[in-house]
Amino acid sequence: MSWYKRISENILTPTSEKKEVPDGIWTQCPGCKTAISTKTIHKNAYVCTTCNHHLQIGSREYFEILFDENEFTEMDANMISADPLEFKDTKAYPDRLIDSIKKTKLKDAVRTAHGKSNGLDLVVVCMDFSFIGGSMGSVVGEKICNAVKFCIENRFPLLIISRSGGARMMEGALSLMQMAKISANLALLSQNGLPYISLMTDPTTGGVTASYAMLGDLNIAEPNALIGFAGPRVIKETIGQNLPEGFQRSEFLLEHGFLDFIIDRKDLKDKLSSLLKIMQKLPSGE
Partner 1 sequence: MENNKQIFEFERPIYDLITRLEEMKAITSENQVDMSGAVAVLEKNILELKNNIYSNLNRWQKVQISRHTNRPYTLDYIEAITTEFTELFGDRQVKDDKAMVGGFARIGEYPVMIIGQQKGRDLKSRQFRNFGMPNPEGYRKALRLMRLAEKFGVPVITLIDTPGAYPGLEAEERGQGEAIARNLLEMSVLKTPVICVVIGEGASGGALGIGIGDKVYMLEHTWYSVISPESCSSILWRTWEKKELAAEALKLSAQDNLELGIIDGIIPEPLGGAHYDHQFVFNALKEQLLSDLDVLTKTDTPTLIQNRIEKFSKMGVVDYI
Q: Which residues bind partner 1 (CB under 8 A)?
A: 78-82, 84-85, 87-90, 107, 137-139, 141-142, 145, 167-169, 171-181, 183-188, 190-191, 206-207, 209-215, 227-230, 234-235, 238-239, 243, 247-248, 256-258
Shortest separation between residue 208's beta carbon and partner 1, angstroms: 8
Shortest separation between residue 188's beta carbon and partner 1, angstroms: 7
Shortest separation between residue 204's beta carbon and partner 1, angstroms: 9
The CA radius of gyration of the chain, in Å to the nearest whole number, is: 19
Packing angle between helix 268-279 and helix 59-66, nearest 10 degrees?
60
Looking at the Cβ atoms of 214 and 275, the one nearer to partner 1 is 214
Type of residue at 285? G
Looking at the Cβ atoms of 27 and 59, the one nearer to partner 1 is 59
Shortest separation between residue 114's beta carbon and partner 1, angstroms: 19
CB 255 within 8 A of CB 244: no
Looking at the Cβ atoms of 120 and 176, the one nearer to partner 1 is 176
CA distance 183 to 160: 13
Looking at the Cβ atoms of 119 and 257, the one nearer to partner 1 is 257
CA distances from 166 to 127, 163, 266 (A): 11, 9, 26
Looking at the Cβ atoms of 98 and 278, the one nearer to partner 1 is 98
Type of residue at 139? V
Looking at the Cβ atoms of 59 and 81, the one nearer to partner 1 is 81
Tell which residue, 197, 224, 199, has the closest CA to residue 280.
197
Other CB atoms within a 10 A radius of the CB of residue 83 amount to: 15
Type of residue at 250? S
Shortest separation between residue 5's beta carbon and partner 1, angstroms: 29
β-pairing, 196-204 with 218-221?
parallel
Shortest separation between residue 254's beta carbon and partner 1, angstroms: 12
